[in-house]
Amino acid sequence: VASQTCRCCFLGLLYQEYRDKSTRQEIETRRLQDSQTDPEESSPSEEAPSEAEPTSTTESKAPPQISLLRNSNSRFNLWQDLPEIRSSGVLSILQPDEIKLQEAMFELVTSEASYYKSLNLLVSHFMENERLKKILHQSEAHILFSNVLDVMAVSERFLLDLEQRVEENIVISDVCDIVYQHTVNHFSVYITYVSNQTYQERAYKQLLQDKPAFRELISQLELDPKCKGLSFSSFLILPFQRITRLKLLVQNILKKVEEKSDRETTALDAHKELETVVKACNEGVRKMSRTEQMISIQKKLEFKIKSVPIISHSRWLLKQGELQQMNGPKTSRTLRTKKLFREIYLFLFNDLLVICRQIPGDKYQVFDSAPRGLLRVEELEDQGQSLANVFILRLLENADDREASYMLKASSQSEMKRWMISLAPNRRTKFVSFTSRLVDCPQIQCVHPYVAQQPDELSLELADVLNILDKTDDGWIFGERLHDQERGWFPSSMGEEILNPKIRAQNLKECFRVHKSDDSQRRKLGSRNRQ
């Protein structure tokens, strides 16, 4: 396949469009599989990579690159649709599994071309705009665009190597070895860019607020037809979206390569390195916001007990909020609700619980604390309306080196469960024991993206698949995402439950295969919450 074919026929779509179509197709494919008795029945649709839209046999004979260049709404290219592949006769020789693998590798190449096009537009249309250069101070431009030129240069070099591989033979030998080399040697530029995200978002909001000329120009630039209705901010977040998506594309290849083969080894190696980069990106984003948050909390605390130093490089906030504490001994449960409870405020960190009462001036007076590892929780059931959503919190060793118990009431069932899981993360949940992965856990796939609003929540992308670890009657799910084992709460309305047990088993099997190179990680799936 000629390099020119590669460069041209895949650049009809901006990366944002590709990503949206790709994930929505993934959702529809999974819905189809879930509705069938045998997952194998859906295999014909799997021959297309996730970005492909359903096509008829007649349609697939048309030269795809022509329609794609002229119509951004047309279907994506498939490897098997390329004229060179059609005319070679290779489709009649290759096994169906190999064709699926070819499509998965081909998608990685085509999506990188689409991503490069979007990066190029970010630079040429926005960053290098002469009017914008005059409006922005050099330091503002640096915060806004960071090292995007380095990121684009890395993408171009990566794409050239991928295209060269496609040129070598109409049947692609491998792409994960190239992914591995570039991840190890060049992808650190992504960590630099993504770590700047908090500053970038803040600077962008400030510029929109403080500089009307900036706001007006960005609006004008966004209206240009070449942006296809996409916002400036959607271009700024491209690198983080791409490095995450690249890991998923390698996972997709890994699921399709033959076991114990050289291609499996290179896919596992590439995936491991990408995972390292993605984790470093996540940590970079969290580090600054966590530090600022800890400083802010420290300023609000006044200690009635012996002072505990709050700020630490290894400490971060997991959850904070108000609960109602029951007054007096447990025998006073029969008292009226208004006499029974008083407000307290909890700050839960990854290694420490601080119990306070709010005082005037937006301050909190600390009257007890305990290491997080010395907390135990117990739910009260069938205790009547006044004691609904009540649980017992035990501090095995509190600030006075004694055991202490608190009977606490939450505002809702979901809030109670969220506190209980945050306070004692290793307790058994409704659907699965945290020490056993053998249970057929309910699963859900995300059909609406969700942005976490609280530290104990999980942001979701379209087509994410999660194990359901717990759920509440008022519409919240505690889930664990399969591809990275991140855990957190999200509204149940964001997803659709996967009902077919064979599909659930297949999803778990693929998950374990992807992570089999790191046995220790598999044993503690999800032990590190995203918080």
> Residues 105, 182: one domain?
yes
State whether 83 and 206 are in the same domain: yes
| pLDDT of 22 | 86
- State the number of CA atoms in the 13 A half-sphere of 503 facing the CB: 25
Residue 500, SS3 per DSSP: coil
Pairwise CA distance, residues 80 & 57, whole Å? 12
Give burial (CB, 10 Å; 0-12/13-18/19+) of 172. buried
Residue 8 pLDDT class (50, 70, 90 cuts): very low
Question: Do 274 and 342 reside in the same domain of the chain?
Answer: no
In a domain, 57, yes or no: no
Sign of the Cα pseudo-torsion (271, 277, 280, 282, in order): negative
Query: Is there a single domain that holds both residue 287 and residue 318?
Result: no
pLDDT of 331: 46
Task: State pLDDT tens for residues 109-126.
Answer: 999 999 999 999 999 999
Flag whether 17 is in a domain: no
For the segment 276-311, what is each residue's pLDDT rounded down to a tens digit? 999 999 888 888 788 889 999 999 999 999 888 899
Residue at token pair 């118990």: 405
Instruction: Kindly state whether residues 410 and 443 are assigned to the same domain.
Output: no
For residues 346 and 477, membership in a common domain is answered with no
Poorest-confidence range of 80-89, 359-368, 402-411? 80-89
Q: Please, which residues bridge with residue 370 across strands?
A: 353
For residue 264, is it within any domain? yes
In a domain, 281, yes or no: yes
**Which CATH number goes with the domain that contains 410?**
2.30.29.30
Closest CA to 234 of 252, 217, 249, 221: 221
Rounded CA separation 501/399 (Å): 48
Q: Which of 373, 355, 374 is nearest to 365 (CA)?
A: 355
Q: Is the pLDDT of residue 405 over 90?
A: yes
Among residues 423, 444, 479, the one where a domain terminates is: 423
Total domains, the chain: 3
Residue 384 confidence (pLDDT) above 80: no
Classify strands 465-471 and 443-446 as parallel, antiparallel or unpaired.
antiparallel
Q: Copy the structure tokens of residue 55.
A: 């096509």
Q: Same domain for 166 and 276?
A: yes
Please indicate, yes or no, whether residues 176 and 311 belong to a single structural domain of this protein. Answer: no
517: number of Cβ within 10 Å: 17
Taking 60 as the threshold, does the pLDDT of residue 336 lie above it? no
Q: What separation in angstroms does the CA of 510 have from each of 239, 256, 361, 362?
A: 26, 10, 53, 49
The CA distance from 129 to 124, in Å, is 7
* β 301-303/476-481 pair status: unpaired
Q: Which helix (H) or strand (E) holds 250?
A: helix 238-256
Amino acid 119: pLDDT: 97
Q: Is residue 32 part of a domain?
A: no
Looking at the domain assignment, is residue 460 inside a domain? Answer: yes
Question: What is the extent of the structural domain holding 507?
Answer: 434-525
Report the CATH number at residue 442. 2.30.30.40
Residue 309 lies in a domain: yes
H-helix or E-strand spanning residue 371: strand 363-371
Q: How many CB atoms lie within 10 A of CB 124?
A: 12
Note whether 207 and 214 are within 8 A (CB).
yes
Q: In what order do the strands lie in the sheet with 495-498?
A: 487-491, 476-481, 465-471, 443-446, 495-498
Q: How large is the greatest C-alpha to C-alpha distance in the chain, in angstroms?
A: 84
pLDDT tens by residue, 238-272? 999 999 999 999 999 999 999 999 999 999 999 99
- What SS3 class is residue 56? coil
Residue 353 predicted with pLDDT over 90: yes
Angstrom distance (rounded) from CA 458 to CA 205: 24
Residue 18 lies in a domain: no
Same domain, residue pair 498 and 471: yes
Q: Are 498 and 30 in contact (CB under 8 A)?
A: yes
User: Which domain CATH number covers 115?
Assistant: 1.20.900.10
Average pLDDT score over residue span 81-88: 89
Question: What pLDDT sits at residue 289?
Answer: 80
The reported pLDDT for the residue numbered 513 is 84
Mean pLDDT of 377-403: 87
DSSP state of 126: I
**pLDDT, mean over the chain:** 84
pLDDT-derived band of residue 5, with 50, 70 and 90 as boundaries?
very low
Q: Determine how β-strand 363-371 pairs with β-strand 301-303.
A: parallel
* pLDDT, tens digit (0-9, with 9 covering 90-100), for 492-503: 999 999 999 999
